[in-house]
Amino acid sequence: METADEALLASLRRGDPRAYETLVRTLTPQLLAVSRRIVRDEEDARDVVQEAFVNAWKSLPRFEEGSRLSTWLHRITVNAALMKLRSRRRRPEEPIEDLLPTFAEDGHQTPPSQPWVEPADLALDRKQLAEVVRQQIDRLPDTYRLVLLLRDIEGLDTAEAAEVLGVTENAVKLRLHRARQALRTLLDPLLRRSGR
């Protein structure tokens, strides 16, 4: 029995304009959200999604049916968003070192991390917390922000993120570790229990 995805793919390959309309209508909100997280500009995000659909249409004959259409379009959108970022005039990247923990000669972190005693969802409601986290992720330099988005938000594995970014898997692991540490530093004053 043919799945809905297989039926849609067959209709797309026959050139059915209704199938293309269904695909666009169904996936645009999800792809716009992905694009916005990466390019951080509404107009650019819309351009990226449009470009992703055009690229998908052109590449449809090479689509491997073992994948889901949504997963394939997600990957095309991520690549288009990264290309959009690369095409922008690069601003000098801010160093991340000030956001990383420091260590004493004996290897202990100074100052040591303090637990967020109060659960974050009690300190801020979930919607507000999500917005605060997004704002702090946006403060990270692109090198680290993109790795964090691809791995922790978009769910790519290390190998996939390395391929998309054109770096080694070790570079992805290192950048991700540093990005998480920096994000922790940025969130710490916002989420730590007040009145200490």
**Residue in the block written with tokens 């710490």:** 188
Considering the chain, what percentage of its residues have pLDDT values greater than 90?
28
**4-87 maps to CATH 2.60.40.10:** no
Indicate if the pLDDT at residue 66 is higher than 90. Answer: no
Indicate if the pLDDT at residue 78 is higher than 80. Answer: yes
**97-191 maps to CATH 3.40.50.720:** no
Q: How confident is the model over 130-148, as pLDDT tens digits?
A: 788 888 998 898 889 999 9
* Structural contact between residues 140 and 183, judged by C-beta atoms closer than 8 angstroms: yes
Whole-angstrom distance, CA of residue 30 vs CA of residue 49: 10
Q: How confident is the model at residue 189 (pLDDT cuts 50, 70, 90)?
A: confident
- At residue 96, φ and ψ (nearest 5 deg) are -100, -10
Domains 4-87 and 97-191 share a fold: no
pLDDT given for residue 195 in this prediction? 36
Q: How confident is the model at residue 119 (pLDDT cuts 50, 70, 90)?
A: low
pTM above 0.75, yes or no: no
The structural domains of the chain, with segments of one domain joined by +, span 4-87, 97-191
What is the total residue count of the chain?
Answer: 196
At position 185, the amino acid (one-letter code) is T
Task: State mean pLDDT over 64-87.
Answer: 84
Whole-angstrom distance, CA of residue 94 vs CA of residue 189: 21
At position 170, the amino acid (one-letter code) is N
Q: What is the DSSP letter of 176?
A: H
* E strands, 65-190, in order: 102-103, 109-110
